[in-house]
Structure 1
Amino acid sequence: MYRNSWLPEVFNDFFYNNNMPRANATAPAINVLETATEYTVELAAPGLSKEDFVVNIDNDGDLTIKMEKKEETKDQAAHYLRREFSYSKYEQTLILPDDVDKEKIGARMSDGVLTVSLPKVQQNVQKIARQIEVG
């Protein structure tokens, strides 16, 4: 299994989870971005709409993305000679890092990209500097 050496070890299962095989060899590509406040998962889905997706957190706390596009053939006389960009069915489960706030996860579909926002848990940093009263 390929692993990026620049990724912290905790993210290896997040990015490379082989427990759920892809239903299609031409599965859509996924990008994962990280900022100080969140992770963002982007899934390429040209020609699809938000109704084609189901995104949820399962009982184990993992993120599951399911996509199914019902193909309607309008022209029965035509047939594909070559077809490489059909994502008729797809499912991927990602094991989330522990610092994801699972109550605030959101998803949106725009310009052929499904974007799932995974906000990080906000940790209150206690300030050390303070005035000490002399008694």
Structure 2
Amino acid sequence: MAKRASKKDSARELAVAAARIAQDNNAEDIVVLDLRGISPVTDYFVIATGTSDRQMRSIADDVIRHGKTVGQKVWQVAGMESGDWIVLDFVDVVVHLFDQPHRRYYDLELIWGDARRVRWQRRSPATRRPDGRRTPRAGE
């Protein structure tokens, strides 16, 4: 029998997946904040900037769809009509999709400045050169 992911693991996995979905949809300045032990209401924030309301709605729809596929129900959705700040509340994970002016104005990273940032980027695979030596990954 397969081991079921703990609540903590599934929240982190959803946050990372939401960040990657935002990246796949060309969002900018994507940040995942670990709020465990800091916030009494949620464990993770995912914050991203969209370049258009259509793009932000598309990201939101994709994150909601992904949540359903992994058994994570979105409890509240706000801002889909206006498209300047969309909030997806999965309880343990809250996704904030901002346009640039609202991202600057609300500055959630400053408000939650004591939160740890989660590394969510996919690691690029190391490749072999024709001479057999390994090409380092980005950042190595």
The alignment's TM-score, normalised by the length of structure 1, stands at: 0.32
**Greater fraction helix:** 2
Q: Which has the higher contact order (CA 8 A, sep 6+)?
A: 1
**Greater fraction strand:** 1
The alignment's TM-score, normalised by the length of structure 2, stands at: 0.31
Q: If you compute each CA radius of gyration, which structure gives the higher value, 1 or 2?
A: 1
